[in-house]
Structure formats: structure tokens, C-alpha cells
Amino acid sequence: MTARERVAGTVANYVDERTGAAKWMKKNLTKVFPDHWSFLLGEVALYSFVILLLSGTFLTFWYDPSQREVLYEGTYAPLNGLHMSAAYSSTLHISFEVRGGLLMRQIHHWAALIFMAAIVVHLMRVYFTGAFRKPREFNWIIGVGLLTLGIVEGFLGYSLPDDLLSGTGIRIAEAIIQALPVVGSYLAFFAFGGAFPGEAFIPRIFTVHVLLLPGIFLALITVHLMLVWYQKHTQWPGPGRTEKNVVGYPLMPAYMAKAGGFFFIVFGVTAFLGAVASINPIWLYGPYNPGQISAGSQPDWYMGWLDGLVRMSPPLESHFLGHTVSWNILIPGLIVPGILFTGMALYPFIESWITGDKREHHLLDRPRNVPNRTALGAMSLTFMLVALINGGNDIIATNFHLAINQVMWFSRIAIFVLPPIAFVVTKRICLSLQRADRELVLHGRETGRLLMLPHGEFVEVHEPISPELAWKLTAHEQAPALALEDVDARGVRRAGGLKNKLRKRISQANAESISKPTLNDLKEIEHH
């Protein structure tokens, strides 16, 4: 035994005698995880969260969360002698005078953008592969919670500098709160501690941004990862992989090394972006003043869709019993996002209701094999994309020499027309890919080699595919649609007729697929 091993052994023994950790570690460090690049997306979200905590802590050393008016006398000459809030002035101080301050601000902002992008792409991976199915529904709901919190946390974060851009965003948030019928104006007064903008808002959102939400994030991420640990990770179908086993590498040493290295790659990329790519140059916007607005105000991308929905809404307002209901804000700002996020949270239960499938699933779906789900995902993304485009309607109009109304009318029509088209096209593509898989299994791969038969006919030589690939292409289930008859076996009409009819119709559409090759099909081909 070397001296180093002896020291390590003594330390490990010391800790084990006091905590009993050895048994737990032995069991868990050898836990097997499946391997696939798409499983790294959740890790990117996790690592950027760590980067956010570290860089954010640095910023709190100098940031002053106060709307107290100060006279700017710092090194950024164009703003010298201007009255502004202490929050804005301290952010300028971090950017121009604190050593490494601008780099840290930019790393923090880039990490936030990467965090949100990683969450969205991770969500898409989980959705399109069906990883949310039983028993992972709770983790899906926690995920939707994390996404919602991420949007709020990001918004509060870029509101803190109290520059002209962020102040405009807060003004919109105030309008959305006020649009709530009856309680809206009271809630806005409560949040702002009086009339907008007041002096209470920045200190309040600072506490929420650095204390409350990160605390909730930490708790939710911990539960999220504990559930991944307990329920085990899903895996892609392949030879030897079943619903009952996990094929992969042990946590120690394979994943410890990979995850450690990957953390530094994510940190490196974020630091590189922070060093070379300017982001949120608040000194160009100037301090916030409710009487001013800068042209081309844009929120960060994960809020852009919401802004886009509000921008495209027609001016609808009703007045009754002395109250004004601003439908133009209420519908795009609260009702539509509410429906979207509630629908997303409930999706695992909706799908299991449609398919009647209550079993556990640990093998992932290839998106093409579940055309309706994939098409619904494409439809939702198209909806979001159109809304996001309209969130930049002024920038698009300026850059492409269009009238802002043209962009807005395009979005107003496209938001209704393009998502259903995306649904139909995606579903057709999935079915075509299924057809291509069937062809591949039955007839093998086209080699591009032409053979002339003795009677002069040309045929292309096909090569049989490997048994592994054939297994992968045919391993999925093709469950039939639910047989929900209107009358039961004794001829009595079932209760809930309309609900049953709807469920039957959706279940039929959901079960539409190209039948995968059977053993008989293969035998028949061999016979030929």
C-alpha cells in the first residue's frame, strides 16, 4: 500500500465511522446510467444554474437594490451629471469600475440565457421521446414548475439594473397585473407599494431574485434529481435493453469524470461568451424614466413570445359595473399562457387518458413512432415561434423595410394558420419515416449497385441491415385505438357519451401508423 493510499484510507475510515457513508457510497457509486448525448441537456441546465449562483453572488457585493435618486459621477462620461437610481448607478459601477465586473455581469446574463435554452431543449427531449410517461409524471410537473420559475427569475434579473429597457418591461408587467379583473389594480398597488414606479419595487424584486426563487430552485432541482435517481433513467431501445434493466456505465468512474469535464466545458463556453460577446449594455439605454421609452425595446428571448402575444392583440375592452376589463392584455398576457402551461403540466395524464395506457415506460419512443405527439409538439413550437417573431415586430419592420402593421397582421393570421399546418405536415413526415423504416427492414439498404439480369432487366442490389438495426426499427409497440363502444355488451347506452366519443376520435387519430413488418412479411420476402 502506498503512502497516498494509506492516507486516503485513514480519512475514509474516519468519515465512515462518524457517518456510516461507506455502505451508501458503495451501493450508489456503482449505479448504472444509460449513455446518450441527449441526456446531457439536463446537465447543461444544472451546470448553468451553478454558474448563475456563483456569478450572481459576486454581483451582490456591489449592486445596490435601491431606487433612491443619486447623481452619477462615475467614469462613464456620457451619463455624467445625470440623476438616476442607486440601482442603475451601481450597475454602471460594476460594469466600468469593479475589476472583472463587466465580465461577471456578462457571464451571469449569458448563463441565464443558456440556462433557459437548456431547460427548453431538455423539455423537448423529454417530451418528444415520451420520457414523461408513468412513473415520471411528477418529474414532468416539477419541470414545468422550473421552467415557469426560470422565466420569472430571468425577468426579475434583467429588471434589476433599472435602465430604460428593463423599466419598460416592468411597466408591461404592471399592466398585465392590472388587467386582472377586480383585484388587478389592488394587486399592482400592493406589488409596487403605491403608484408606479414607486420606490419599493426594486428592493422587493431583489429579495425575490436572490433569495426566494433560488431557494425554491434548489429545493425543486434536488427533488427532480432525487426522482431521476430513484426511478432510474430512461434508455433508448436497443438489443438487450428492456423495461426492466438499465444498460450503461457506472457512476464511478465513468460519469464522475464525464460530468466533471462537462461542467468545465459549459463554464468555459459561458465565460468565453461573457468575455467576447456584449450583452445588455445598459449604459447605452440610460436610466429608467416612466415618461420615456427607447425604440426597439426587446425582452430576453424566453419572454419574447409573451410580449409578441400582447403586441398582436386587437384593442378589446369592456366596461361594466364601473370596472374595465382589458381583454387585449388579459387574454394574451394571462389566459393564453395559463392555458398553455396548464396543458403542458397535464399532458402526461391527457396522453394516458387518450391511449388508456397505465403501464410504466422506461424505454424511450422514437418521435416518428408516435406521430400525434410529435405533431402536437411541432404545432406548439410553431405557435411560440410566431409569437416570438411578433415580439420583435418593430426590429423586423425596421430591418426589412416593412410597415409594423404588416408584420403584426402576418403574425395575427399566422398564429392561427401555421400551427395546424405544422401539425399535419409533421404527422405526414412521421408516417413517411415509418414507411421508410418498414422498407429498410423488409428490403434492406439500397447499395447504389445496379445488376443486369440475363434477360436484360436492371435491378438495384439491396444489402440486409444488421439484426441490431432491425431490432431498433421494430421494437416499438403499435397499440390499437381504444374500443369505446357507445353501447355496452348488453345494449345499454354508456354514460358520458360525448366524452367517450371525443376520446374515441382522438384515440383513433393517435393510433394511426404504418404497420411495422411482421415475421410473416419477412418470411414472404425470403420466399421470393
The stretch among 91-99, 104-112, 140-148, 245-253 that binds ligand HEM (CB under 6 A) is 140-148
What binding mask, one character per residue, do residues 201-240 give for ligand HEM by CB under 6 A, x or -? --------------------x--x---x----xx------
What is the rounded CA–CA span in Å between residue 23 and residue 57?
36
Residue 42 sits in the site that holds ligand HEM (CB under 6 A): yes
Among 45, 179, 213, 309, binds ligand HEM (CB under 6 A): 45
What is the rounded CA–CA span in Å between residue 135 and residue 232?
10
Residues 6+ apart with CB under 8 A from 333: 175, 176, 179, 306, 309, 310
Residue 147 sits in the site that holds ligand HEM (CB under 6 A): yes
Residue 376 sits in the site that holds ligand HEM (CB under 6 A): no
Closest to ligand HEM by CB, 11 vs 256, is: 256
What is the rounded CA–CA span in Å between residue 5 and residue 185?
68
For residue 479, CA distances in Å to 286, 323, 354, 436 come to 60, 53, 12, 20
Q: Nearest Cα to 482, choosing from 371, 363, 377, 351? A: 351
CB of 123 to ligand HEM, least distance (A): 4
Residue 136 sits in the site that holds ligand HEM (CB under 6 A): yes
Angle (deg, nearest 10), helices 40-60 and 256-276: 50
According to DSSP, residue 235 is labeled B
Q: Please tell me the count of residues contacting ligand HEM according to CB under 6 A.
A: 25
CB of 89 to ligand HEM, least distance (A): 32
Residue 108 sits in the site that holds ligand HEM (CB under 6 A): no
Residue 49 sits in the site that holds ligand HEM (CB under 6 A): yes
Residue 380 sits in the site that holds ligand HEM (CB under 6 A): no
Residue 337 sits in the site that holds ligand HEM (CB under 6 A): no
Residue 39 sits in the site that holds ligand HEM (CB under 6 A): yes
Among 52, 84, 114, 144, binds ligand HEM (CB under 6 A): 144
Torsional class of 511: left (φ above 0), alpha (ψ -120 to 50), beta (otherwise): alpha
Closest to ligand HEM by CB, 347 vs 383, is: 347
Residue 363 sits in the site that holds ligand HEM (CB under 6 A): no
For residue 381, CA distances in Å to 47, 120, 121, 457, 487 come to 25, 11, 11, 48, 39
Residue 140 sits in the site that holds ligand HEM (CB under 6 A): yes
Residue 143 sits in the site that holds ligand HEM (CB under 6 A): yes
Are the beta carbons of 478 and 510 closer than 8 angstroms?
no
What is the rounded CA–CA span in Å between residue 304 and residue 313?
14
Closest to ligand HEM by CB, 139 vs 270, is: 139
Closest to ligand HEM by CB, 210 vs 440, is: 210
Residues 6+ apart with CB under 8 A from 437: 368, 473, 516
Residue 122 sits in the site that holds ligand HEM (CB under 6 A): yes
What is the rounded CA–CA span in Å between residue 100 and residue 106?
10
What is the rounded CA–CA span in Å between residue 34 and residue 251?
10
Closest to ligand HEM by CB, 158 vs 192, is: 158
315 by Cβ neighbours in 10 Å (0-12 / 13-18 / 19+) ranks as exposed
Binding site residues, ligand HEM, CB under 6 A: 39, 41-43, 45-46, 49, 119, 122-123, 126, 131-132, 136, 139-140, 143-144, 146-147, 221, 224, 228, 233-234
